Structure 1
C-alpha cells in the first residue's frame, strides 16, 4: 500500500508540537510524500494559535521542497450544535478542515447520544472535510450513525495512526469497527499520522496494518493518490 500524503500534522503553532512548517515540509519531502497538510489545533485548545493565525496562509507557498502544501485546521467541536472554534470567514479561507473532539475542550464522561449528536451536527457544516480520530473511547459514539451520515454528506473519516498508541487505549477495537463500517457503506477514509513532530509524519504503520487486515478497497483510501484529495477538495469548491 503506497500512501502518498499526510493531512493531519501539527507545528509549533499548536502549542505542544515540536517543529515548524518548513521542517515538516522538508521531512515530508525526504520520505517521498507528494502532499502535506498543516492542520494545527483550533484556538480553543490550550496553547493553540490565535484565530488570526488562520488568516495568514495566503503568505505561504503552495509548494515547499517539492511537496504540495494544504493549509488548514484541526478544529475543536465545541457543543451539541456542532459548532467549531473558527468563525465562518476563517473556515472558508482554509484548504481543509478536520473536526475532532479533545478532552481539554469538551468534557468526557457523557453519553454516546451526546457525542454522537456532536459529530452528526458538525457534519452539517459545509466547510468541514474530515472527522478526526472518532475512535477515541473517551468519547463513545454510535459509529454506524456517524458513518452513514458521512456517506450522505461526503465527509471523510480519518483512521488516525496515533489512535493505536497507549495514549488512546481501546481505540484499536473501535477503529476497526469504524473501518469495517466504512467498507460496508462505501465511505472514503483518510489515514492521518496526527504528527506532533516532523519525524512522525507519514507514520501510518498501525493504520495500514488494520486496512490490510480488513482488505479495505483501495478506492476508499484517499491517501493512495494526490489527485484524489485535490479533486475531492475542488468538488467542494476549493481553488487548489
Structure 2
C-alpha cells in the first residue's frame, strides 16, 4: 500500500516538537509525499501556541517543495461534551481539524465516560478525524466508537507514534480498532504524529496493522490525494454555517 500524504504533523509551534514548517515540508518531499497537514496542538496544550497562531496560518504558501501544505490543528478535547479548545471562527478557517484526548486537557473517566466523550467528539461537526483513539490512557468501548465514527463519516487514525515512541500499550487497542473499522467500513487515516522532521511520513508500524487486518486501500485516506480532497469537502459541507 502506497501512502501519499501525512495529515498529522507538528512543528516547533506545538511547544514540544522540534522542526520548522520548512523542515517538515522538505522531509515530506524527500519521502515522496504529495501532501502534508500542519496540525500543531490547540492552545490548551501546555506550551502550545496562542489561538492567534491558527488565524495566521494562511501566511504560509499553499505548497512547499512541491508538497501541498494543508493548514490545520490537532485540537484538544476539553470536556465530556466533546468541546474543542479553538473557537468556531478559527476552526472555520482550518482545512483539516484533528481532535484527540490528551493529558492535562481531557478529563479522565470510566470506560463509559471516556466512550461518551469520544462519541460526542465524533458528533462535533467541526471534527474531521479522531486521532490516536487507541490511547490506553483513555480506555473506551472500541466497538461503540468505531460504529459511531462509521455512522457519522468521521475517520479514525492509526497513529504510528503510539506504536513506536509514545502511548505505550496502544498496540492491542489499535489492532482491535482496525479490525472493527474493516467490519463497519470506517475510514482510516494513517498518521505519523511527527514531532521531528525525520519521522514525517513514517507509517511503518501502523501499516503493519492495516495490512494484518486486511483493510482495503480505498478505506485508507492517505492512499490518494483525491480521496483526501473529497473527504475533506464532505466534512466541510457538514460544518455549521453562520
TM-score range, shorter chain: over 0.9
Q: Which runs of 5+ in 1 are unaligned?
A: none
SS at match of 1:75: strand
Mapping for residues 195-234 of structure 1, pairs under 5 Å: 195-234=194-233
CA distance in 1 between counterparts of 2:152 and 2:66 reads 33
CA distance in 1 between counterparts of 2:165 and 2:130 reads 21
Aligned-pair CA distance for 1:167:
3.0
Higher mean Cα deviation, 160-169 or 181-190?
Answer: 160-169
CA distance in 2 between counterparts of 1:236 and 1:196 reads 26
SS at match of 1:167: coil
Distance 1:80 1:57, change over 3 A: same
TM-score (norm 2): 0.95
Equivalent residue for 1:46? Answer: 46
SS at match of 2:156: strand
Structure 1 stretches of 4+ moved >6 Å: none
TM-score (norm 1): 0.96
RMSD of equivalent CA atoms = 1.1
Equivalent residue for 2:115? Answer: 116
**Can you list the C-alpha shifts for 1:35-63, whole angstroms capped at 9, x where unaligned?**
00100000000000000111012211111
Equivalent residue for 1:65? Answer: 65
CA distance in 2 between counterparts of 1:133 and 1:121 reads 16
SS at match of 1:93: coil
SS at match of 1:228: helix
Higher mean Cα deviation, 82-91 or 157-166?
Answer: 157-166
CA distance in 1 between counterparts of 2:173 and 2:32 reads 30
SS at match of 2:162: helix
Equivalent residue for 1:25? Answer: 25
Aligned residues: 237
